[in-house]
Amino acid sequence: MKPLILALVLLAAPVAVHAQTAPAPTAPAAPAPPYGAPIRLEAAQALIERAEAAAEARGFRMAFAVVEPSGSLVAFGRMDDVQYGSIGVSQAKARSAALFRGTTAAAEARVLGGRTVSLAVDDLMPLAGGVPIIVDGRIVGALGVSGASSAEDDEIARAALGQ
């Protein structure tokens, strides 16, 4: 009987709650550039041609997508014998970069850093290779590249944009 009473007393006793330490405040990030008028077809096609030339120079087979700020496709290109999966991935990378006003490399870094809740966000593609297209300080669209490693996809996208 004593063990039962002791157990009940222990269960009823207040339990010390350990305080959680709040994360240290960080400096606010600079605001993302505003949206501008959507990229025109001619400019989108020129970007794809530059990306294709950069990919050919490295011996890659890739897919390239350019979207306007809304994420809607403006132009698409793919090299011969690119894996079919890269078609949709290039479009998803471009859409993500446009909709979230940032590179998909940054999204990938957040997920790899432990911010896995980002994976639940619709239209967020956390694989490098999607880069916003900025003209006169405004986002006019985004370029998405797929076909190699995510780091190489990002390298080709940045080369096409002259970054």
The whole-number pLDDT of residue 24 equals 58
Domains of the chain: 37-160 (3.30.450.150)
CA 25 to chain centre: 24
16-62 per-position pLDDT tens digit: 444 445 555 666 778 889 999 999 999 999 999 999 999 999 999 99
Q: Which tens digit of pLDDT belongs to each residue from 124-162? A: 999 999 999 999 999 999 999 999 999 999 999 999 999
Q: Please tell me the pTM assigned to this model.
A: 0.82
Contacts of 40 (CB under 8 A, 6+ apart): 74
**Token representation of residue 102:** 């940032």
Phi, psi of 54 (to 5 degrees): -65, -40
Nearest to 147 by CA among 64, 40, 44, 26: 64
